[in-house]
């Protein structure tokens, strides 16, 4: 008796077929004719698909992050609209002042410009609107932050000035009791005029204030614009406003504007703790841009930075939003943070979003009451998960809903997997294990190949980071090896899985060898695809357990491909033989994940590459290849996570050779570009970050007749030696690992020194002093130290916490206690006082030290370390700066010295 013919699959061209026979229970011969479609796919189809996906990712990125609104003139925007052209005038005026750090005359000019602009806004405001302008002088204060960049430090400030503007409806008396704070900083670091960070923010705020002054009669609460100074020295401007200004008591929400690059779209990278602000922003913003993954990276310390928003959250207990420009992050705090690189439309994007948002929440009948609206445990359930789609729509939902959604998907996925394994038995479990092994091999090979390039690159290239000025080079240098490694690893797993299936899984069903080989390949392909979803399921489980907001990425990369597989491929019967995976499965499965995540993945890669300019926080303290390892690991991880589905289609196609050849060609071209020097590592617009500091080292015992040492130290936070730079400067510099300097807040492990002409431009009268006034050794040892910074209004002092249990710090002029006795934190055995102030800041201080009981008095480590910075260019510094290569730029941050510094120590055994 002949049974019904069973068709296993139909191929597009050609097929494999055969006839199997067996004897039935009644002795009759039973024959099954099986037709299996040729599983081999066309290489042209696969390569075309890869090109389409690559083009789609690029288009999504450009639309989401690079497509800018058209700048409007004052006439086009109208009296109540936002005009980038008008805001740009403010940015231009502020950058023309030049660098304006705290304590400089240039900052005074910038402050006066902002004050005059605010007074003009007051004059032109609508008659039903009150505009109050306050030039606020902040007294001395101390800022203690529990976490982040400033943990283990006390940030002390004095003589700061801010411009504060309050705009409110004239006839709504209760508006004074509830305010919305919009904040940014006027000051810059010493190395840049700060077109991006943050003159662009100030320009936007001034134009916003003008627009609000025409609308505020319809608001129910006030809007306060804080133009602060001192942010670059430790968030001091925000702290002084919150702790000293009377209007701060009325603030119910804080919005901070920042820049970690220049221009582009200003994204929300911190929101909360209360979700009300981000929920309302998503409702009304014209071009909503924000990603919770940036917030996760920031909160986990992957992004080494801090903004005023930390003060508003930690000190004031406020909720709100933190915006930042993040394009071209390589120029951050360098000379290239300049007006010419500010992309047209950047100010319009932020301004229109902010104007719509402020008008909406200002007029809203519902507004969170108080500074903390919910208990901390309830707040964790209501943190907002947010992300934008193509910069046109923002998705926002709360953590409570995310928990329900994630748990539901996880439980259903586990149930499906459990059912599949029960139905398939031990062979299915073994196949899952081998397919997961292919994922593991994919990761191992992708990381290994890219790590090998990362390690070798500093040995053969003129710079360890030759891709900084041309980030696309990183695609060829690290992406190509990672793709090759991922394909190699997955293919090895495919071969192992295929061998297992050939030997055991299909023995239950006799098939001709040619049919069996084809069926095994098809079954292995399906297992690799399903293993990709299993990988994302594990990530979703981990993200859900640790309440990581960006777990939504794992959700979309799991659900969409799994749905496509279930819709086109899945079957509930084990009797049906597998078919080749359909192209529609891949297209439908990847469409949503690519749409949601491609743009942010590319943007994060660009930010990471730009960050290599300032990667080495202790110059010379990390291996030259370490920065490359970070880039390589990130790119390899992205490719291993996102290409897992796509590569499962490759093994049955003729595209493997073409892919290998293409990756090798791309890598070779990128490497040849680097080695030939056609594209230099740095350029005039993307410069290497360096510091040139005239150091007077007085750490030796001057009272015993030892003279201070004076030299110029050249060092760089960008990985790599300074031989090329020193050769061009040609002023007697000698480089090496022995040219180390302890700058208190960081240490230079590799640098270049010159002693040429270093005795000019200073005198011994400028050297700061630390004099022990008294040392009482009664029940508890207490030491009084007098510190004179000799005119320096920017300095850092490190206190040895292995010897000192606590201390207090006073202004010696008026005995004002700046730092009281309390339990202080430390980092690596040191607590650091970081001081900055205006021209009238104190320079004479009294320090009281309370020793630890039973301290060992280790004479090798100093008790106190002091560095004072002076705003002065000595003759040698002027000469070196003039000869500094154009591809180099001075780099400033709160912890780095200016161009002239004194070092002084007080030993333990004084």
561 and 532 in contact (C-beta within 8 Å)? yes
Q: Is the pTM of this model over 0.85?
A: yes
- Spatial CA neighbour of 902 closest among 882, 874, 875: 874
- DSSP-derived letter for residue 62 is I
As given in the structure block, the two tokens for residue 155 are 């940030």
Residue 26: pLDDT band (50, 70, 90) is: very low
Burial of 385 (0-12, 13-18, 19+ CB in 10 A): buried
Percentage of the chain modeled with pLDDT above 90: 78
518 and 39 in contact (C-beta within 8 Å)? yes
pLDDT at 412 over 70: yes
**639-661: b (≥16 Cβ within 10 Å) or e:** bbbbbbbbbbbbbbbebbebbee
pLDDT at 209 over 90: yes
User: How far is CA 580 from each of CA 420, 424, 528, rounded to the nearest angstrom?
Assistant: 19, 20, 13
Angle, helices 346-363/200-212, rounded to nearest 10 degrees: 40
- Spatial CA neighbour of 205 closest among 310, 297, 92, 118: 118
Residues 275, 281, 282: CA angle, nearest 5 degrees: 90
pLDDT at 54 over 90: yes
User: How far is CA 425 from each of CA 429, 505, 562, 752, rounded to the nearest angstrom?
Assistant: 7, 10, 21, 67
Determine phi and psi for 821, rounding to 5 degrees.
-75, 125
Q: Report the distance separating Cα 861 and Cα 403, nearest Å.
A: 51
151 and 301 in contact (C-beta within 8 Å)? no
Dihedral Cα 557, 559, 563, 566, nearest 10 deg: 100
- Spatial CA neighbour of 207 closest among 304, 369, 340, 83: 83
Residue 712: pLDDT band (50, 70, 90) is: very high
Q: Report the distance separating Cα 411 and Cα 896, nearest Å.
A: 51
As given in the structure block, the two tokens for residue 627 are 């920065």
User: How far is CA 577 from each of CA 23, 34, 670, rounded to the nearest angstrom?
Assistant: 21, 10, 45
> Looking at residues 343-350, what average pLDDT do you find?
97
Task: Name the residue with higher pLDDT: 857 or 113.
Answer: 113
Residues 576-588: pLDDT tens digits?
A: 677 888 889 999 9
Name the E strands within 390-463. 393-398
> Looking at residues 836-844, what average pLDDT do you find?
96
Residues 778-796: pLDDT tens digits?
A: 788 999 999 999 989 999 9
> Looking at residues 867-872, what average pLDDT do you find?
94
Of 46-55, 186-195, 208-217, highest mean pLDDT: 186-195
Residue 12: pLDDT band (50, 70, 90) is: very low
Q: Report the distance separating Cα 231 and Cα 229, nearest Å.
A: 6
Q: Report the distance separating Cα 595 and Cα 643, nearest Å.
A: 15
pLDDT at 1 over 60: no
**Sign of the dihedral defined by the CA atoms of residues 37, 42, 46, 52, in that order:** negative
> Which residues on neighbouring strands pair with residue 866, listed in sequence order?
797, 904
Q: Report the distance separating Cα 442 and Cα 423, nearest Å.
A: 28
- Spatial CA neighbour of 228 closest among 262, 266, 267, 256: 256
Give me the pLDDT at residue 298, please. Answer: 84
Residue 568: pLDDT band (50, 70, 90) is: confident
Q: Report the distance separating Cα 597 and Cα 390, nearest Å.
A: 10
Cα of 697 vs its chain's centroid, Å: 36
> Looking at residues 644-662, what average pLDDT do you find?
90
Task: Name the residue with higher pLDDT: 304 or 29.
Answer: 304
pLDDT at 569 over 90: no
Q: Report the distance separating Cα 92 and Cα 48, nearest Å.
A: 47
Determine phi and psi for 689, rounding to 5 degrees.
-85, 120
> Looking at residues 795-807, what average pLDDT do you find?
95
Give me the pLDDT at residue 425, please. Answer: 87
Give me the pLDDT at residue 571, please. Answer: 62
Residues 497-555: pLDDT tens digits?
A: 999 988 875 555 666 777 778 888 888 999 999 999 999 999 999 999 999 999 999 99
Give me the pLDDT at residue 574, please. Answer: 54
> Looking at residues 78-91, what average pLDDT do you find?
96
Q: Tell me the H-state helices in 315-398.
A: 346-363, 376-381
> Which residues on neighbouring strands pair with residue 165, listed in sequence order?
133, 225
> Which residues on neighbouring strands pair with residue 832, listed in sequence order?
153, 798
- Spatial CA neighbour of 635 closest among 446, 436, 441: 446
pLDDT at 18 over 90: no
149 and 305 in contact (C-beta within 8 Å)? yes
Give me the pLDDT at residue 21, please. Answer: 46
User: How far is CA 774 from each of CA 39, 719, 781, 833, 844, rounded to the nearest angstrom?
Assistant: 88, 46, 10, 21, 17
Q: Report the distance separating Cα 313 and Cα 1, nearest Å.
A: 81
pLDDT at 565 over 50: yes
**Sign of the dihedral defined by the CA atoms of residues 232, 236, 242, 244, in that order:** negative
Q: Report the distance separating Cα 862 and Cα 742, nearest Å.
A: 12
Locate tokens 């055995």: which residue?
A: 829
Give me the pLDDT at residue 626, please. Answer: 96
Average predicted confidence (pLDDT) for the chain: 90
9 and 34 in contact (C-beta within 8 Å)? no
316 and 242 in contact (C-beta within 8 Å)? yes
């Amino acid at each position: 008796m002949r049974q019904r013919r069973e068709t296993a699959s139909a191929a597009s061209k050609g097929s494999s077929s055969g006839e199997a026979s067996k004897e039935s229970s009644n002795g009759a011969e039973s024959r099954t004719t099986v037709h299996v479609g040729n599983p081999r796919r066309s290489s042209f189809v696969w390569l075309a698909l890869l090109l389409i996906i690559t083009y789609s990712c690029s288009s999504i990125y450009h639309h989401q992050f690079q497509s800018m609104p058209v700048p409007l003139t004052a006439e086009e925007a109208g009296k109540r609209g936002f005009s980038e052209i008008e805001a740009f005038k403010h940015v231009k005026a502020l950058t023309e002042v030049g660098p304006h750090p705290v304590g400089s005359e240039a900052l005074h000019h910038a402050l006066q410009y902002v004050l005059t602009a605010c007074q003009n806004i007051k004059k032109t405001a609508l008659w039903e609107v009150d505009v109050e302008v306050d030039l606020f002088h902040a007294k001395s204060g101390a800022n203690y932050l529990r976490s982040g960049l400033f943990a283990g430090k006390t940030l002390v400030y004095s003589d700061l000035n801010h411009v504060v503007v309050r705009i409110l409806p004239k006839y709504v008396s209760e508006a004074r009791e509830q305010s919305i704070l919009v904040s940014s900083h006027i000051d810059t670091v010493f190395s840049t005029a700060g077109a991006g960070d943050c003159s662009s923010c100030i320009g936007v705020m001034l134009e916003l204030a003008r627009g609000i002054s025409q609308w505020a009669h319809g608001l129910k609460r006030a809007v306060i614009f804080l133009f602060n100074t001192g942010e670059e020295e430790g968030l001091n401007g925000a702290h002084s406003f919150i702790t000293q200004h009377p209007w701060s008591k009325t603030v119910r929400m804080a919005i901070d504007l920042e820049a970690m690059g220049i221009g582009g779209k200003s994204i929300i990278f911190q929101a909360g703790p209360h979700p009300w602000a981000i929920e309302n922003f998503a409702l009304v913003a014209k071009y909503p841009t924000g990603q919770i993954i940036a917030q996760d990276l920031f909160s986990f310390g992957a992004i080494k930075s801090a903004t005023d928003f930390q003060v508003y959250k930690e000190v004031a207990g406020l909720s709100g939003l933190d915006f930042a420009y993040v394009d071209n992050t390589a120029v951050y705090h360098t000379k290239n943070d300049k007006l010419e690189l500010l992309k047209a439309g950047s100010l319009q994007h932020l301004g229109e979003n902010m104007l719509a948002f402020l008008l909406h929440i200002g007029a809203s009948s519902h507004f969170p009451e108080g500074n903390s609206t919910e208990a901390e445990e309830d707040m964790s359930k209501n943190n907002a998960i947010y992300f934008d789609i193509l910069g046109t729509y923002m998705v926002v939902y709360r953590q409570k809903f995310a928990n329900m959604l994630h748990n539901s998907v996880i439980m259903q996925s586990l149930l499906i997997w459990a059912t599949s394994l029960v139905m398939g038995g031990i062979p299915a479990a073994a196949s899952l294990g081998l397919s997961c092994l292919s994922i593991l091999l994919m990761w191992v090979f992708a990381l290994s190949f890219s790590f090998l390039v990362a390690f070798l690159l500093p040995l053969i290239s003129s710079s360890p980071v030759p891709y900084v000025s041309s980030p696309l080079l990183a695609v060829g240098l690290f992406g190509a090896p990672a793709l090759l490694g991922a394909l190699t690893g997955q293919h090895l797993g495919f071969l192992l899985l295929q061998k297992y299936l050939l030997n055991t899984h299909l023995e239950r069903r006799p098939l001709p060898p040619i049919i069996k080989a084809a069926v095994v390949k098809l079954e292995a392909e399906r297992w690799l695809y399903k293993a990709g979803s299993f990988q994302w399921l594990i990530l979703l489980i981990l993200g859900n357990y640790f309440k990581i907001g960006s777990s939504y990425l794992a959700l979309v990369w799991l659900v969409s491909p799994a749905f496509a597989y279930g819709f086109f491929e899945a079957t509930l019967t084990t009797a049906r033989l597998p078919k080749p995976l359909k192209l529609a499965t891949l297209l439908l499965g990847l469409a949503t994940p690519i749409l949601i995540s491609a743009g942010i993945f590319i943007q994060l890669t660009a930010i990471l590459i730009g960050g290599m300019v300032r990667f080495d926080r202790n110059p010379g303290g990390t291996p030259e290849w370490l920065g490359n390892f970070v880039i390589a690991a990130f790119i390899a991880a992205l490719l291993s996570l996102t290409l897992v589905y796509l590569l499962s289609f490759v093994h049955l196609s003729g595209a493997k050779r073409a892919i290998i050849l293409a990756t090798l060609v791309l890598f070779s071209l990128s490497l040849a570009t680097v080695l030939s020097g056609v594209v230099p590592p740095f350029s005039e617009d993307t410069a290497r970050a360096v510091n040139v500091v005239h150091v007077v080292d007085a750490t030796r015992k001057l009272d015993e007749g030892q003279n201070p040492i004076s030299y110029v130290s050249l060092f760089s936070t960008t990985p790599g030696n300074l031989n090329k730079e020193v050769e061009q400067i040609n002023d007697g510099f000698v480089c090496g690992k022995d040219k180390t300097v302890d700058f208190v807040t960081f240490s230079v492990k590799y640098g270049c020194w010159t002693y040429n002409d270093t005795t000019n431009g200073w005198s011994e009268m400028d050297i700061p002093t630390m004099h022990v006034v008294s040392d009482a050794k009664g029940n508890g040892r207490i030491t009084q130290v007098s510190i004179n910074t000799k005119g320096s209004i920017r300095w850092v002092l490190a206190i040895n916490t292995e010897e000192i249990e606590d201390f207090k710090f006073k202004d010696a002029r008026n005995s004002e206690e700046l730092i009281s006795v309390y339990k202080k934190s430390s980092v690596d055995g040191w607590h650091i006082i970081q001081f900055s102030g205006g021209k009238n800041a104190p320079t004479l201080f009294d320090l009281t030290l309370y020793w630890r009981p039973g301290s060992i008095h280790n004479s090798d480590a100093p008790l106190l370390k002091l560095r004072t910075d002076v705003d002065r260019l000595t003759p040698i510094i002027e000469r070196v700066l003039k000869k500094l290569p154009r591809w180099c730029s001075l780099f400033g941050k709160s912890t780095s010295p200016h161009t002239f510094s004194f070092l002084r120590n007080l030993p333990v055994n004084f």
